Copies of this chain bind each other. A is one copy, B any other.
Amino acid sequence: MKNARLVLPAALLGAAILALTAVSPGAPPDLRVTLERLVRTARETNGAYDTIRSLTDSVGPRLSGSPGDARAVAWVKAALTARGFSNVHPEAVTVPHWERGEESGEIVSPVPFRLSLCALGGSVGTPPGGVEAEVVEAQSLEGVDALGEKAKGRIVLVWKVMERRSDGSGYGATVPIRGAAASRAAKMGAVGALIRSVGTSNARLPHTGSLRYEEGVPKIPAAALANPDADLLHRLLAEGKTVRVRFALSARTLPDALSANVVGEIPGREKPEEIVVLSGHLDSWDLGQGAVDDGAGLGIAIEAARLIGQLPRRPRRTVRVVAFANEENGLAGARAYAVAHAAELPFHAAAIECDSGAGRVSGFAWTAGPSAERVLANVAEILKPFGLGEVKKGGGGADVGALRAAGVPLLSPIQDVSRYFDIHHSADDTFDKIDREELNTGVAAMAALAWALADSEAPLERIPEAERVAPRRER
C-alpha cells in the first residue's frame, strides 16, 4: 500500500474539501498566478501543433494492430522521452486487428454511378464479386425492423441526417445506427447494410466507425456512404425508382495483435503516488491521418503536461500522460489500464480525457462527487477572463470511463465540435485541418485544469457509488 490515506473513505475527503472551501471562498492567490501563467504560455506555444504534425506526418493512420499502430507506440514513447517526461514506458495491450482491404460500390440501375463508401469497422467482407441487390430504405433502427419481408434479399439503407450542433448532440442521435444497422437488417433477411455517414460534411468522403454484430445473427457486410451518395439513393427511392446497388468489401478480422498504452509522468513533489491522468488515444481510424481524432487530444495532453513540467515548481501530485491503445474499435487499452493499475486506482485523484478534436475549448466538464462543484468553480473563475471558464457536469470519455467504477473523478474539455464531425472518422482527418490558435485553447484549459487537480491540498470528491456505472456510449 503506497498511501495511508487509502483507508480514509472518499466521502470524508469530500467533506474536508467542502469545509476548506467554505472557510476560504474564492481561488487561492497562488493558484491564480500559476493558472494564468499556464494559460498565457499555452496560447503562445507551437508545442501541441508540432506534436500533432509529427504524429500525423511521421506515423500516419494507426488502426489497432496495423504497422501504423506499432509506429505510434514507438512515436509516443520517443515523444514523451524527448519532452523530458519521467517513467516513460509502454504497457502491453492485446488489441483486435481488423483490416479494411479494398472497397468499392456503385449504383447498377437506374443509372450507373460510382459510389463513395467505406466499410464500417469490424464489418465482414463481401464475396469477391460483392453483393448486389435492390435497395430498401429505412430512416431509423425501428424502421429497419418494420421493413419485415421487404428487406429479405435486399440491401437495407438506413438514411438519417446527423445534425450539426456545437455540443455534438447530433452524434448521439445517429451513431446507434452505425453500431446496430447491420444486425438489425440481417434479422430481416438483408444481404447487406448501408448507412448515411454519421458525419456532418457534404463532401463525398464516407465516415467509418465501429459496428457491433449481435450474437446469433448472421454477419452481413456493412458500409457507410458519403452523405451526398446516401442522399442520391434517398432521392431516387423517393421518386419511386427501383435502385440496384453493388458493393464489394475485402475487409477481414485477423487474430488479435499486440499494442500498448504508453505512459509518461511529471512526478508530483509531495504526493507522487497520487495520480492525475491526462489522456488521449494513440490509435486512429485508417482512412485519414488521425489528426483531430485523436492526434489533437493526444497533442493537447502531452503539451499541457509538458507545460506543467516546465513550471518552477512541480504540482503536489503526479501528472501522468496516458496514450491509450485501441479506443476506436475495442477499448482494450482502457480496460488493460484499469486492470494493470487496479491497486493504484484509489490514488487516482482525477482522469482527464481529450478526445473531441481541435476545436475551441471554452471550459471543462466534470463527473465527481457533489462537493467538486465548488472546488471547480474556483478554477473556472480564474479561467473565465480567458474564455475558458465554462463548467458543466458530465465529464469523461470512452477511455477514462473504465476508471469510473473505481470512482475516479472524470473530466474533459468543453469543446466546439460543430466542425469536428465534418472530418471525424473520414479520410479528411488530416493535419491541415488543425488550427493552432483554436488548438491552444485546449492546451491552456487542460494545463490549468490538470495543475489545479494535481496541486490542490485535497483531491476532488470521488464519484458516488451509485453513479459508478455509466450507460454504454458509442464512440
Q: Hey, which bits of chain A sit against chain B, CB under 8 A?
A: 53, 57-61, 67, 71, 110-113, 116, 201-205, 227-228, 231-232, 235-236, 288-289, 427-428, 430-433
Contacts and interface: CB of A to CB of B under 8 A. Distances in A.
A428 B206 CA distance: 12
A111 B428 contact: no
Contacts of A227: 432
Among A205, A228, A232, A235, find the residue whose CB has the most chain B CB atoms closer than 10 A. Answer: A228
B204 A111 contact: no
B58 A110 contact: yes
B113 A236 contact: no
A202 B433 CA distance: 8
Contact of A430 (B58, B201, B204): B204
Nearest to A53: B235
B60 A111 contact: yes
Given A202-B428, A232-B289, 10 more contacts: A57-B111, A113-B289, A202-B432, A203-B203, A204-B205, A204-B288, A204-B427, A204-B430, A205-B205, A228-B428
Given A60-B113, A112-B60, A236-B57, A432 B203 contact: no
B202 A205 contact: no
Given A57-B236, A205-B203, A427-B116, A71 B432 contact: no
A201 B433 CA distance: 11
A107 to B, nearest CB: 8
A203 B206 CA distance: 12
A111 B427 contact: no
Contacts of A235: 53, 57, 431
Contacts of A201: 203
